[in-house]
Structure 1
């Protein structure tokens, strides 16, 4: 039976003021948590991934599988992780005292997030670079013309194209053919052909990105030297992250009041400007008009399902970490419905800003929409800047756009860095908890130096392959493990009782159905489609060498391999029993300190268990051979 509390107890989060958890601390207010979740869930993929997926997979028709998977997979996983973290008030690793046999999943989360924060801050570095370039280039943007020192003879500014033959190159004005305008927006380069030679035509924005920002080399085997401008800005970005996280959630929880809300203001301004541009209506038609026949394609459904993991962030450990700082009676069910809805609405809203501008660019160049669309960073650092350069008061709109991208990037990075720090600090609380500020500093410094290779001329090849490989497989496997543990090992009835202890009522049976059957089946479908499609990894037209792919896949599999490896580790260091089977069974049972971290909430079946604040050495003395850590 669930012990009854007054309605006010749940509405106030179980405490009128102050921190319930004196050791780890709590959010200062409920909005700190909500805004942190919204900021985390609404990341760069909402800008550069969702609108393009929507366009390429049937326009408005793509919203049907996306919203279906949001309800059947995204929300259930979101609720599972938030409830899991809030109940035990532990980080991604120590939370798995619920089932030590699968503790490796917690390490898998930390590995994925730890690798991601290294290259994610490099992307934030690029954003800072573009912001400074926009700020210092008034009245025009540096990627608007082809008369800069980094430009080549192949440059075409879209205001002016270059017609090249063997002996000479002549400028021709805007009255040029569509072949000249048909530049590399789709990750391919077209050629201007003379009698004896061919020259690739590249936009001014593309050359600014490749030659001025990246100083890109010919492949991952030729990294070149460090670009000190990028290295300096990478240091600046890590300093900003540290200053915002130096006091943990107490500092980041206040910063998100700006970083989580400012993007909505900027997006709204960009939408107002975008929809008033000529050609915007055509862009929005491509974005919204359904292509119903594409719903028959399995790729459309797999793309929609995969996007859920990049939109909401389950399996990364961030949701679990943020929820672990909630007060015990926070209504995690309400939050787990609200945030995914806000996230989906924001993804659609961002698409309006993107496609209204791309529609303008298509009309202005005479190209069809599909030839100016590019997914990923190319949309943010090439196509959108090219469009902004053609709008009156271009530096103003560019500054606003990159401010928005910067705040969006910071929100996600806050949560991921805090997730890694909390995972390790909670594993060694007696050593690190009082020194958490120094530990956060150490993480930031370490990640800075690990990110330096990505500031070289060939660094973007490393970033691209990491971004391509790290998240997919590990995220799906960890999500499956979570469902399996709470359904088949811990038991959904037990988990429901835990949730009821927090929110004062049992959730609907709907969540049980999803966790037990629907959500795992969707994840299995995604995994099958990943192997069936098996798309090659290409950076534009560049194919990675075999050695780079092997290293990339080894890194990608690390978050999966750690799960069975840690099973073996746990078997030898903490299992109990005389036979192999008995020792394995002992690892599936929660440890004696599993449950609410705050003593006053350890009621019901947790009333006679060991309180988590009891010193580890005292536990060892009182319970020799205890599996508790």
Structure 2
């Protein structure tokens, strides 16, 4: 337990009447409040309801005795008789806030709008009925994705802490959810940055007079290579773009899959290392540094998308591609798979459950309108996916025109779309070098924003949970964390690394995050309670959430998550793809990876109930599953040392 700090050798100090008015030159604020303190000095803690967080609060706390005083300010700290109060260095340990409101919005948009908006949504859309798919997509957004998105923004803003510390205030036994999220974020960092590294490789390869995937006369090409513009091209042959990706960038022919992946490819490792360097210098100083970077990384993709859209719709065959993209097939709406795909796409696109929305919103001011932010950012995310569909399908229509074939024989899903098909189309355009450079710059910025969010979630969580050992040494911690993730990611940079990237994508976050978010939602809506959560929102916004939101939070959103999890669990083999048959031992390892994060939840529940709580079963249950309304801090909204 922290002891009270002493100023100028005195044995006791007076608590400032108003913490927000503390002189900026003070190095600490300390106090004892006597039993006969006069009426207007401080405000007492409420034993049954926690005060809302202060915008200038702190993480590092000390203690002293306190007794009640008269209530004057509803936002001021509340103290009770015989309650030890943690006293803080207000000027030294204030929580950062975003430099501008726009920085927060751009950070959230940048996290939500990722590579999946470009390579997955267009494919899912045309596969599931074209324009008709927009109906289940919008329904799942309104009833499933948006309520969860709004929930996380509100939680982070109210409690002002990351995905670990926040559970003390919601349901202490579910703190394992926070550890599970951190582990999932590590798995994502191990493969997602490698994909960005592929884009970096392509970017540097584009700085030439002739794109290297234009022709078949390169050292890495095989006899089966033939340009798609050749009239004799058939299904038994490969394109220069495909061979460049598989035989030059990845060199996967030098491996035997996961059984023998081969050594690390130095040039690829150098590209991925460059990505980690960019990430470090964007995150090392916290939201103040990240807030400046997102002006570029979040806005640049939109500039490029608009440029590519203008170029795409001017190409021959583009109208056929767009028509193929939008033409509704209403009969497909009878297929349950279409609705599950819509729900999955919304969930993974908005990204609740990764801890990122909690972390980013925790740096907001307390009165910020998080409801409006949720509507704006989620709408922009979905509109971006829709816009990306026009960009992709205008070019696919052009490629079908060039190859004199149908669009369904041209298109690919996932990395193949952006690393093979689209570069293939670019190579046939005039000014191909320019189009290639801006396209891969767009992919890099899309990827960087998402990796910023995932890593910041983990960094914020650990800095809040361990403010003295980690929070004060953020720069060093971020360096060690990224260095560790880079070393763990080295196998993804081997000749067989592409198989591991897909493997980690499925077994790292793929299934586990669905279960984790379901438990998170259950903890907030069923243990903490929708009424209590609604009251928290009312404190911030001055208005209680309507009946629609409360119904969604109580019933619809949990069912939404459970349905996605069940269908994904049943169809996990499809998620691995069919191009490579994963060995049986790897499937077992994959389930172990999934369970490693999922098991954090029951393991911590057992620890909390049987080892970290005292008393009879009822008392242990209350300590484990009821929110801690006295977190032990004189500054509401921040974590301190419980006394």
TM-score by length of 1: 0.85
After TM superposition, the structure 1 = structure 2 runs for residues 91-170 of structure 1, keeping only pairs within 5 Å, are 91-97=162-168, 98-135=170-207, 137-138=208-209, 140-159=210-229
Displacement of 1:28 in angstroms is 1.2
After TM superposition, the structure 1 = structure 2 runs for residues 230-629 of structure 1, keeping only pairs within 5 Å, are 230-536=268-574, 538-579=576-617, 581-594=618-631, 599=635, 602=636, 612=638, 614=640, 616=641, 619-620=642-643
Displacement of 1:470 in angstroms is 2.2
For 2:614 and 2:335, locate their aligned partners in 1 and report how far apart those are by CA, in whole Å: 50
Displacement of 1:4 in angstroms is 13
Displacement of 1:3 in angstroms is 13
What residue ranges of structure 2 are gaps of 5+ in the alignment? Answer: 1-47, 57-74, 76-89
| Greater Cα shift, 219-228 or 532-541 | 532-541
Match of 1:187? none
Change (3 A) 1:20 1:485: farther
Report if the CA contact (8 A) 1:105-1:478 is conserved.
yes
C-alpha distance after superposition, 1:483-524 (max 9, x if no partner) = 222222111111111111111111212111001111112222
Match of 1:53? 124
Displacement of 1:241 in angstroms is 0.6
Structure with a larger share of its residues in helix = 1
Report if the CA contact (8 A) 1:21-1:598 is conserved.
no
What residue ranges of structure 1 are gaps of 5+ in the alignment? Answer: 160-173, 183-190, 192-200, 603-610, 621-629
CA RMSD of aligned residues (A): 2.2
For 2:314 and 2:304, locate their aligned partners in 1 and report how far apart those are by CA, in whole Å: 16
For 2:325 and 2:127, locate their aligned partners in 1 and report how far apart those are by CA, in whole Å: 9
Report if the CA contact (8 A) 1:537-1:543 is conserved.
no
For 1:111 and 1:156, locate their aligned partners in 2 and report how far apart those are by CA, in whole Å: 44
For 1:545 and 1:4, locate their aligned partners in 2 and report how far apart those are by CA, in whole Å: 55
2:206 alignment partner, SS class:
helix
After TM superposition, the structure 1 = structure 2 runs for residues 145-224 of structure 1, keeping only pairs within 5 Å, are 145-159=215-229, 174-176=230-232, 180-182=233-235, 191=236, 201-216=237-252, 217-224=255-262
Of 137, 147, 152, the residue aligned with 1:66 is 137
**Is 1:83 equivalent to 2:154 in the alignment?**
yes
For 2:616 and 2:278, locate their aligned partners in 1 and report how far apart those are by CA, in whole Å: 53
Report if the CA contact (8 A) 1:575-1:583 is conserved.
yes
| Greater Cα shift, 519-528 or 413-422 | 519-528
For 1:229 and 1:303, locate their aligned partners in 2 and report how far apart those are by CA, in whole Å: 37
For 1:612 and 1:248, locate their aligned partners in 2 and report how far apart those are by CA, in whole Å: 17
In the TM superposition, structure 1's runs of 4+ consecutive aligned residues that sit over 6 Å from their partners are 1-5
For 2:212 and 2:614, locate their aligned partners in 1 and report how far apart those are by CA, in whole Å: 66
Change (3 A) 1:349 1:594: farther
Report if the CA contact (8 A) 1:113-1:420 is conserved.
yes
Report if the CA contact (8 A) 2:160-2:638 is conserved.
no
Report if the CA contact (8 A) 2:511-2:569 is conserved.
no
For 1:598 and 1:390, locate their aligned partners in 2 and report how far apart those are by CA, in whole Å: 65
C-alpha distance after superposition, 1:378-424 (max 9, x if no partner) = 11111111111111111110111001111111111111111111111
Change (3 A) 1:468 1:562: same
For 1:297 and 1:146, locate their aligned partners in 2 and report how far apart those are by CA, in whole Å: 43
Change (3 A) 1:121 1:613: closer
